[in-house]
Chains A and B, each alone.
Chain A
Amino acid sequence: MSSADETAVAITGESGPMNGLKETAIRSVFFSCALVTVLTTLGIILVLVQGSIGFFQEVSIVEYVTGTDWSPVIRPRSFGVLPLIWGTLIITVGSALIAIPVGTATAIYLSEYADPQVRKVIKPTLEILAGIPTIVYGFFALSFITPIIQRFFPETGTFNAAAGAIVVGIMIIPMVSSLSEDAMSSVPDDLRNAAYGLGATKFEVSTSVVFPASLSGVIASYILALSRAIGETMAVTLAAGMHPQITGNLLEPIQTMTAYMVQIGISDVSVGSIGYQSLFAVGLTLFAMTLAMNLFSLWIKSRYREEYQ
């Protein structure tokens, strides 16, 4: 009887209503912090949609999405967003053509081939590459990449799509390689051993076992890198120029959606004018594109998730 009493005392201890109150308070603090990100996202969507409403009262959506001429400030005005989308597309596809092969090969090297010592040097270096401010990449493109292109193609302008695509490609390599390497490293060694045991070479193990087994993570890294390319702003503004046009010639300047937003953002268009409102419409378009990419990435991840025991 007495021992049971002691136990009862020991369990209740100092705890009381005050302790429960503290827990509740802590919980609310953490919850509010988490809420900030959600509210911010909702706020951004609200602002974009609200700002765009004014724009689409003046300009028909059909003209916006099918028009091939973009001149919202200078008369005669024209509001076809396709040249901006085209510019963004050129940069995205061009940079993907560079970053996906190079990034994937880097990831395979780091995960499957590199000595631990080599990996210890290369991985942080790649992460430094990812941390360089994008405006620095822009100057790198202007002062280094473009002169090289001009040496081969003298007619190349100071601002050109090729330099933009190349520099964004370089910029997103670390994203592809780092995330893909994480995915490849998490493939269990059991699978590698099984393949080696069957007489597979290292190259076969890497390409026909490790790569497919890590596919969901690898594809997710591609998509994240591409949404980064779509949203990339300063480097492309500096490297690729501010000339909205639909052209297949990569040596000519173009303008991406983001570069246009920079242009209007720093210009003296008056608040409430159609030029100002177009900022929100383009922003909304950009947001929709990156959102779609991120949702696609999530879907890929769940669709191709491999289950190991």
Chain B
Amino acid sequence: MTANNEPAEMTPNRRGPESVSTSEIDERRSASAAADDGPLGSPRVSSPVIESRDLDVFYGDTQALHGIEMEVPERQVTALIGPSGCGKSTFLRSINRMNDLIDVARVEGDLYFHGKNVYDDDVDPVALRRKIGMVFQKPNPFPKSIYDNVAYGLRVQGKDDGDVDEKVRTALEQAALLDEVEDQLDESGLDLSGGQQQRLCIARAIAPDPEVVLMDEPASALDPVATSKIEDLIDDLAEEYTVVIVTHSMQQAARISDKTAVFLTGGHLVEFDDTEKIFENPESQQVEDYITGKFG
């Protein structure tokens, strides 16, 4: 799983969005929904979209994640928290195989998306990423117009045959940005403020209608007002999408998430439970220390 096997080359039979691997995922999705028996030792989860089983990630000789076990529930917000260097972003990036792009990264163990292991040889990371959108820490709009930024995903995914205008507007509306940019869709996305740029990136991620939206500290580069807008937005997004968000702010995790996973230094997942439980009555002393600020 190194970047030498780049996305396009990892596809023995690439056929765009409707390739074998993704339709297989769709089939298994209904199967796994039917046979839902809830993973052991964790809160009962209705139809986990993503299941991590004994997942290890290495950067060269350094092990960044140790045997991660987690189930991400559908249409809820799952927060990944922990101190810097605890592996929370690494875990996020292993869900849509963005770690493939890092030369020295190597993954062991299983990560299932609707019951299909995304690290199986027949999985096309390009097709996977079309189902799992991503928003990054630093707003990264393309140096293109606002319109073209949002339409980019539709175009590369071949979803630009229908009414692109409509889809672009809908995505901007969902990202709570439409009112602010309605008259300047042809202007560069780089001319927006930081908070607007990040909402543009969210619109860009949801325009092709993925199932899961991964967010890597989406508000860490923003001021408090912009942060609060993004948080409101995440709440709304969870009605339609499964959201996994990395945050270094415990308050933010407490405000917006349904489930919280606490990673601690060294790449161990110490506790994963309902957010309320984690913040009010965590099982582990380490987590309690971290939450109360005694450690980390």
**Measuring CB to CB, which residues of chain A are less than 8 angstroms from any residue of chain B?**
115, 188, 190-204, 208-209, 212-213, 306-309
Say yes or no: is B190 at the interface (Cβ < 8 Å to chain A). yes
With CB as the reference atom, state the residue of chain A lying closest to B139.
Answer: A309
Asked whether, in the complex, the Cβ of A199 is within 8 Å of the Cβ of B126, the reply is yes
Asked whether, in the complex, the Cβ of B8 is within 8 Å of the Cβ of A202, the reply is yes
Interface positions of B from 1 to 21, Cβ below 8 Å from A:
4, 6-9, 14, 17
Q: Given that A196-B101, A198-B133, A212-B144 are known contacts, is A306 also in contact with B190, CB under 8 Å in the complex?
A: yes
Q: In the assembled complex, how far is the CB of residue A115 from the closest CB belonging to chain B, in whole angstroms?
A: 7
Q: Given that A198-B129, A198-B156 are known contacts, is A193 also in contact with B144, CB under 8 Å in the complex?
A: no
10 A-B contacts (beta carbon < 8 Å): A193-B98, A193-B101, A196-B98, A197-B133, A198-B152, A198-B205, A199-B128, A209-B142, A212-B144, A308-B143
Interface positions of B from 165 to 190, Cβ below 8 Å from A:
190
Asked whether, in the complex, the Cβ of A193 is within 8 Å of the Cβ of B140, the reply is yes
Say yes or no: is B204 at the interface (Cβ < 8 Å to chain A). yes
With CB as the reference atom, state the residue of chain B lying closest to A214.
Answer: B143
Asked whether, in the complex, the Cβ of A202 is within 8 Å of the Cβ of B208, the reply is no
Asked whether, in the complex, the Cβ of A195 is within 8 Å of the Cβ of B152, the reply is yes
A208: chain B residues within 8 A (beta carbon): 152, 155-156
Cα distance A192–B134 in the bound complex, in angstroms: 12
A197: chain B residues within 8 A (beta carbon): 96, 98, 129, 133-134, 136, 205
Cα distance A140–B155 in the bound complex, in angstroms: 46
Cα distance A195–B14 in the bound complex, in angstroms: 18
A200: chain B residues within 8 A (beta carbon): 126, 152, 156
Asked whether, in the complex, the Cβ of A194 is within 8 Å of the Cβ of B204, the reply is yes
Cα distance A199–B152 in the bound complex, in angstroms: 10
A193: chain B residues within 8 A (beta carbon): 98, 101, 134, 136, 140
Say yes or no: is B130 at the interface (Cβ < 8 Å to chain A). yes
Asked whether, in the complex, the Cβ of A307 is within 8 Å of the Cβ of B7, the reply is no
B128: chain A residues within 8 A (beta carbon): 199
Say yes or no: is B227 at the interface (Cβ < 8 Å to chain A). no
Q: In the assembled complex, how far is the CB of residue B252 from the closest CB belonging to chain A, in whole angstroms?
A: 21
Q: In the assembled complex, how far is the CB of residue B140 from the closest CB belonging to chain A, in whole angstroms?
A: 4
With CB as the reference atom, state the residue of chain A lying closest to B197.
Answer: A309
Asked whether, in the complex, the Cβ of A199 is within 8 Å of the Cβ of B190, the reply is no
Say yes or no: is B234 at the interface (Cβ < 8 Å to chain A). no
A201: chain B residues within 8 A (beta carbon): 7-8, 14, 126, 156
Taking A199-B129, A201-B7, A201-B156 as given, write out 15 further A-B residue pairs in contact, using a Cβ cutoff of 8 Å, ordered by the A residue number.
A191-B142, A193-B136, A195-B156, A196-B98, A196-B129, A197-B129, A198-B152, A198-B205, A199-B17, A199-B127, A199-B130, A200-B156, A209-B142, A213-B142, A309-B194
Say yes or no: is B237 at the interface (Cβ < 8 Å to chain A). no
Cα distance A193–B136 in the bound complex, in angstroms: 9
Q: In the assembled complex, how far is the CB of residue B23 from the closest CB belonging to chain A, in whole angstroms?
A: 15
Q: Given that A199-B129, A199-B157, A202-B6 are known contacts, is A194 also in contact with B201, CB under 8 Å in the complex?
A: yes
A194: chain B residues within 8 A (beta carbon): 136, 140-142, 201, 204
Q: In the assembled complex, how far is the CB of residue B202 from the closest CB belonging to chain A, in whole angstroms?
A: 12
With CB as the reference atom, state the residue of chain B lying closest to A203.
Answer: B8
Interface positions of B from 214 to 259, Cβ below 8 Å from A:
none
With CB as the reference atom, state the residue of chain A lying closest to B135.
Answer: A197
Asked whether, in the complex, the Cβ of A204 is within 8 Å of the Cβ of B156, the reply is yes
A196: chain B residues within 8 A (beta carbon): 7, 98, 101, 129
Cα distance A204–B16 in the bound complex, in angstroms: 13
Cα distance A198–B129 in the bound complex, in angstroms: 6
Say yes or no: is B66 at the interface (Cβ < 8 Å to chain A). no
Q: In the assembled complex, how far is the CB of residue B188 from the closest CB belonging to chain A, in whole angstroms?
A: 9
Asked whether, in the complex, the Cβ of A307 is within 8 Å of the Cβ of B142, the reply is no
B130: chain A residues within 8 A (beta carbon): 198-199
Asked whether, in the complex, the Cβ of A115 is within 8 Å of the Cβ of B6, the reply is no
Asked whether, in the complex, the Cβ of B190 is within 8 Å of the Cβ of A308, the reply is yes
Among A194, A209, A309, the most chain B Cβ lie within 10 Å of the Cβ of: A194
B143: chain A residues within 8 A (beta carbon): 191, 212-213, 306-308
Cα distance A309–B4 in the bound complex, in angstroms: 29
Cα distance A196–B153 in the bound complex, in angstroms: 10
